[in-house]
Amino acid sequence: MVWLIIDIVRDRPGLLNDITYYVRLRNLNIRSVVGSRQVVLMEVEGEVDDELLRELSGIDEVGLVTTITQLFRLLGFVQEAFTNAILFYVMKRDPGLLEALGYEYGKELMRHYMASIKDFKNALYASLRVLTALGLLTLIGIQFDHDRTIISIREAFDEEVGMPMTRGIIRGLFDSVGRVRHSINVVRRKSQYDFVIS
């Protein structure tokens, strides 16, 4: 099994049909498709080679196409119901629990991807693209500087409650490698949030 991570530059009618056309041409079985307007995850059975990745990247309005060979299963929630459940139960009892839960989730997510993607930056990017496909956030970009990293997002699933879980996930992604605990400062800029990690 291979997961294709397909970045969507701009959504358009027929785009998913164009993508599945090239996959079907290679007689690959599509086991599952999930995604958002920005990223699509497609689980396929069979051999995925560089030529298929180039063909998919050549489709109008498709950006970067990469693979994850590590097996994982998806677990989905209806966003509004999940957010309300968090709001009513956890925020009344222990608001810090959400960030701690997100932190552990981020650490485990990064450990999972680091098993097959050895480069931290590539594993971080893959993790954030998967989170985008699942609707937890929308990745706008990542900027790596020598003493800090800036992750720009919008539409965090827990934005209405102050993004504690999103903050925890992002910190967990960074703290999963090495023994350094990172600090995060969140800066709001118009319709996006910059997570400054140092």
pLDDT at position 144 is 95
Which pLDDT does position 91 carry in this prediction? 75
pTM of the entire predicted model: 0.78
Which pLDDT does position 161 carry in this prediction? 82
CATH, range 2-68: 3.30.70.260
Residue 50 amino acid letter: D
- Decide which of 3.40.50.720, 3.30.1380.20, 3.30.70.3450, 3.40.50.300 is the CATH code for 79-197: 3.30.1380.20
Give the domain ranges of the chain.
2-68, 79-197
Comparing CA positions, the residue from 127, 89, 125, 94 lying closest to residue 108 is 127
Distance of CA 186 to the CA centre of its chain: 18
- The closest of 66, 72, 56 to 22, measured between CA atoms, is 56
Q: What's residue 141's pLDDT?
A: 96
Tokens read off for 116:
């097959």
Q: What are the angstrom distances between the C-alpha of 186 and each of 42, 63, 153, 175?
A: 32, 28, 10, 17
Is the Cβ–Cβ distance between 176 and 113 less than 8 Å?
no
**pLDDT score at 130:** 93
pLDDT by residue for the chain (198 residues), tens only, comes to 899 999 999 999 999 999 999 999 999 999 999 999 999 999 999 999 999 999 999 999 999 999 998 877 777 767 677 777 877 788 778 878 989 999 999 999 999 999 888 899 999 999 999 999 988 999 999 999 999 999 999 999 888 888 999 999 999 999 998 778 899 999 999 999 999 999
